Structure 1
Amino acid sequence: MNKNDVFSVPAFPCRHCGASVTHEFADLGLTPLCQTQIAPARFNQAERYFPLQAYVCSACWLVQLRDCISSADVFTDDYPYFSSFSASWLAHAKAYVDEMVERLQLGSDSLVMELASNDGYLLRHFKPHGVPVLGVEPSRSVADAAIALGIPTEIRFFGRDTATDLRARYGAADLIAGNNVLAHVPDINDFVAGVQIALKPQGTVTFEFPHLLNLMQQNQFDTIYHEHFSYLSLHAVRAVFRTAGLDIYDVRKLSTHGGSLRVFGQLAGAGRPVTDQVAAVLAEEAQAGLLDVKTYGGFAEQARATKRDILDFLIQARRQGKRVAGYGAPGKGNTLLNYCGIGTDLIDFTVDANPAKQHTFAPGSRIPIYPPDHIRETKPDYLFILPWNLKEEIMAQTAYIREWGGQWVTPIPTPKVWSEPAVRA
Structure 2
Amino acid sequence: MQDIVWPIDECRVCGHDDWLDVVSFGSTPLAGNLLGDEDDAGGETLFPLDVVVCRRCWLMTLRHVIEPDVLFGHYRYVASDAGSIIQHMRKLVDLCVERIGLTDGDLVVEFGSNTGAHLELFRQAGPRVVGVDPARNLAGVANDRGVETIPAGFTAEVGQEIATRYGLARLVYGRQCFAHIPDIHEVLNGVSALLAPDGLFFVEVPYLVELLKNNQFDTIFHEHFSYFSLGSLCTLFESHGLRVVDVHTADVHGGSIVVFAAPAAADHEVRPAVAEMLAEERSQGIAEERTYREFADRTERVRAQIRELVRGVVADGKTVAGYGAPTKGSALLAACGLGHQEIRFCSDTTVLKQGRILPGSRIPIWSPEQAAGHVPDYYLLLAWNYAPEIIDNEKEFLENGGRFIVPIPEPRVISAESTL
TM-score, length of structure 1 as denominator length: 0.94
Q: For residues 331-353 of structure 1, what are the alpha-carbon distances to aligned partners after superposition, in whole Å with 9 as ceiling and x for unaligned?
A: 11111111111011211111111
Native 8 Å contact 1:180 1:210 kept in 2: yes
1:271-295 CA-partner distances (Å, limit 9, x unpaired): 2121111011001111111112332
Q: 2:11 aligns with which of 10, 14, 27?
A: 14
Of residues 56, 63, 66 in structure 2, which corresponds to 1:66?
63
Secondary structure at the residue paired with 2:143? helix
Does the residue aligned with 2:274 lie in a helix, a strand or coil? Answer: helix
Q: Kindly tell me: are residues 423 and 105 of structure 1, through their superposed partners in 2, closer, same or farther at Cα, counting changes over 3 Å? A: farther
Asked if the contact 1:158/1:194 (under 8 Å) is kept, the reply is yes
**Secondary structure of 1:373's partner?**
helix
Aligned to 1:402: 398
Q: Give the number of aligned pairs.
A: 414
CA distance in 2, matches of 1:31, 1:356: 23
State percent identity of aligned pairs. 38
Structure 1 residues 204-240: Cα deviation after superposition (integer angstroms, max 9, x where no partner): 1111111100000000000001111100000000011
1:51 maps onto 2:48 in alignment:
yes
**RMSD of aligned residue pairs (Cα, Å):** 1.7
1:374/1:395 Cα in 2 relative to 1: closer, same or farther (>3 Å)?
Answer: farther
Q: List aligned pairs for 1:257-276, cutoff 5 A.
A: 257-276=253-272
Provide closer, same or farther for how the CA distance between residues 96 and 188 of structure 1 changes in structure 2, counting only shifts above 3 A.
same
Q: 1:423 to 1:106 in 2, by over 3 A?
A: farther
Which residue in the other structure is 1:7 paired with? none
Residues 327, 351 of structure 1: 8 Å contact kept: yes
Tell me what 2:202 maps to. 206
Q: 2:21 aligns with which of 4, 7, 24?
A: 24
Q: Is the 8 A contact 2:65 2:182 kept in 1?
A: no
CA contact (8 A) 2:50 2:64 kept: no
Residue 224 of structure 2 aligns to which amino acid in structure 1?
H
Residue 33 (structure 1) aligned with residue 30 (structure 2): yes
Deviation of 1:422 (Å): 9.2
Structure-1 residue corresponding to 2:343: 347
- What amino acid does structure 2 have at the position aligned with 1:201? P
- CA distance in 2: counterparts of 1:273 and 1:293, whole angstroms: 34
Is the CA contact (8 Å cut-off) linking 2:41 and 2:362 kept in structure 1? no
Aligned equivalent of 1:251: 247
| Residue pair 2:244, 2:262 contacting (<8 A) in 1 also | yes
Counterpart residue number, 1:378: 374
- CA shift for structure 1 position 44: 4.4
CA distance in 1, matches of 2:416, 2:160: 52
Residue type of the alignment partner of 2:338: I
User: Is residue 2:301 matched to residue 1:309?
Assistant: no
Q: Residues 355-370 of structure 1 correspond to what in structure 2 (within 5 A)? A: 355-370=351-366
Q: Name the SS for the 1:38 alignment partner.
A: coil
Q: Distance in 1 between matches of 2:41 and 2:10?
A: 38
Aligned to 1:336: 332
User: Aligned AA for 2:125?
Assistant: H
SS in 1 for 2:140: helix
1:30 match: secondary structure: strand
2-side partners of 1:422 and 1:182: how far apart? 37
Q: In the aligned structure 1, how far is the partner of 2:167 from the partner of 2:37? A: 46
Structure 1 segment 141-160 matched on structure 2, within 5 A: 141-160=137-156
Aligned match of 1:129 in 120, 125, 140? 125
Paired with 2:80 and 2:273, the residues of 1 have a C-alpha distance of 31
Aligned to 2:410: 414
State how far apart, in whole Å, the 2-side matches of 1:404 and 1:33 are. Answer: 36
Alignment of 1:99 onto 2:80: no
Q: Distance in 2 between matches of 1:43 and 1:400?
A: 38
What amino acid is aligned across from residue 364 of structure 1 in structure 2?
G
Match of 1:293 in 2: 289
Residues 174, 204 of structure 2: 8 Å contact kept: yes
SS of the residue aligned with 2:368?
coil
* AA of the residue aligned to 1:56: V
Look up the match of 2:4: none
Contact 2:338 2:361 in 1 (8 A): yes
Per-residue CA distance 1:148-187 (angstroms, 9 max, x = gap): 1111111110122221222122211101121111111001
Within the candidate set 78, 83, 91, 1:82 is matched to: 78
Cα distance in 2 between the residues matched to 1:148 and 1:55: 41
Measure the CA separation in 2 of the matches of 1:242 and 1:140. Answer: 32
Which residue does 1:166 correspond to in 2? 162
How far off is 1:420 after superposition? 4.0
List runs of 5+ in structure 2 lacking aligned partners.
Answer: 1-6
Shift of 1:403: 4.6
Assess if the C-alpha contact under 8 Å between 1:84 and 1:119 holds in 2: no
2:106 aligned with 1:110: yes
CA separation in 1, counterparts of 2:346 and 2:301? 24
Distance 1:66-1:248 versus aligned 2 partners, 3 A rule: same
Distance 2:203 2:289 in 1: 26
